[in-house]
Structure 1
Amino acid sequence: MLAFVALAAAMVLTALLAVLFPLLRRSQRPLQRGEDLAVLADGLRELDAQLAAGDVGAAEHERARLELQRQALHAGQAAQARARSSQQANWAVALATAVVLPLLAIGVYLTVGQPGAIHPSAPAARSASTGAAPHVQDDAAVAALQARLARDGGDAEGWVLLARSYYQMGRIDDALSAYGKATQLSSDNADLWVEYANTLAIAQQRDLSGEPTRMVQRALEIDPNNFNALAFAGLAAFQQNDRTAALAHWQKLKALLPADTEDARRIDSLIARARGQAPAAPLAASAQAAKQTGDATIRGTVTLDERLRSQVAAADTLFIFARASDGPPMPLAAVRTRASGWPVSFTLDDSSAMAPEMRLSRFAQVSVVARVSRLGTPAAQPGDIEGRVEQVALGSKEVRIVLDRVVER
């Protein structure tokens, strides 16, 4: 009997070694990040080549480079999470096999004495964790970036990425703090100062007076021909009813823009308003009736074309805004939310107006645009997904926008 038991135990041990050795050996392999790093390096080299060739501007180059770094950060964390999950799963299987199989083979117990020691729900929990919502994974990436910057706070680009991430999450105060760190480390970046000023203006109910205006002036000192700085400086002056200064900034911007473009035509409209030559559009009868009933709003839904669904992540930002059909580029009203939960309902009204003369309620008809931004910035970038509806009347309640077009370069 003893010989039989010893032989059976030896056979079980041999079988266990044959099964467990390769299983545990696989779980100990190091993370393979070479391919991810190579992809990142190739992407950065391609961006640098495009910048050197003049195919992209400095601002677009910076945004694209930061997006590549963010994707690399997510990929690295996802790889680590998968590796940890795989290692834990392999050890769990090994432990269960090493304990349960000998007990069953030898027949010492008719049943497992402590079934609670084995948790069938654990694999399901791990599976659920790997399928966590994208915004949870994104929040984890932001937390990891924050921790890294706490250890090494000298990375200006990291602070910019953190600021933009906070902005996308609606954490405006944290975004402002991160922008402050970034501008301390990169004080000669005009676009960064404009981005900082815009975020501060949003925190101030879209008021550009005071510190935002000083930030924009700082940007113009660095780069007197910066498009964004000139546009914001003109808007800041327009908010303060300084039409002379607004006209000067916008006229300079117009001279820098290519002729016969949409941007040039919109700047023409701004210049006309600064000159007092473009009064607010007269309200149509239906819009006037909407105002009289107190319904100076536009409501509707945004849906995503099925063909483009794979190109949108739940962590992306959805901007919805109304713009004068033949007027300036700044939104008359805008909302910002996550690009998930389709269809997305929206309401536009006067609450987001940046200038008294540029309120939604002052226009009879507008264009309503919806745009999914991967970088979380309102300005359209290549790869963003957009949809629009033209000639929308004030008071409309069933506007339907389909995101069906990818923004090209």
Structure 2
Amino acid sequence: MSFAFWGLTIAMSIAAIGIVAIPLFSGKPRFSAATLLPSVLIPLIALGIYSKLGSPDALSVNGARADRSQVSTNSGNSGQSNKGTASVASLVNGLKERLEQEPNDADGWILLARSYEHIGSRAEAIAAYNNAKSLGKTDPTLDKSLSGETPAQEQVVLVTGPSLRGRVALAPDVAAQVQPSDTVFIFAKETAAQRMPLLALRKPASELPMTFELTDAQAMVPGSHIADYEKLVVTVRISRSGMAGDTLNGFEVSSKPVSPLAGEEILLLIEGNSSGDLPTGGPNNE
């Protein structure tokens, strides 16, 4: 184990103990949930991140990137509690950066969703949990706590914001090999070779041929917006295992670069040796 990891954990534990000890020596031993919560959560989250990902590198935070992806914290806590929450936020940002390099770690996304939920960052928790679900991983507790209607401001984006929409169809020879229980993954990247999808959607193969729409609601990175990208490539993949990294018999197709602002329909036909998209208005398998 890394000396840096244990040094950070011990330092944070001492800080957490100080949060509780200072009121005792001041003669005002008044405790509240806001005072005690950091002393418990800080060491637990630190150890949880280590045990789940198996490397203290998950705790490393790139300063410049952390500044761009700060985790929101509740403003009603005391000054001491805010310091503890900020330390937890640093750990969470470190885990987020780790997952950007290893996006297929479903357990890591679950841990990130739980961590975001603990510090009150609901939108980020939902996005992280959606990533886990796209990899076939679910959690009953998160299902319950993160369920609910989309916030009003996100609904406006869904209705009026830019999007990538289209239709997925199967060639007859492919349709004969696809089962209703298979999974269809639809995701968008800046290039087809990019590892981390920017947007992702998961649907059952029983809905084929199907229509789709990718919006900010399917963002894999919290805070990212589809309008920030000039052009994106949409890829459709069939998976029998339900895991995003698995492709059934090479059944995958990618579009040409498309502008999210163009509003054009993307028609994707999956063939045995498919490599591109159909022109708008092209044939389908109905």
The answer, yes or no, to whether TM exceeds 0.5 is no
Which structure's residues are more often helix, by fraction?
A: 1
Larger radius of gyration: 1
Q: Give the number of the structure with larger relative contact order, counting CA–CA contacts within 8 Å between residues 6 or more apart.
A: 2
Q: What TM-score do the two structures reach when normalised by structure 2? A: 0.42
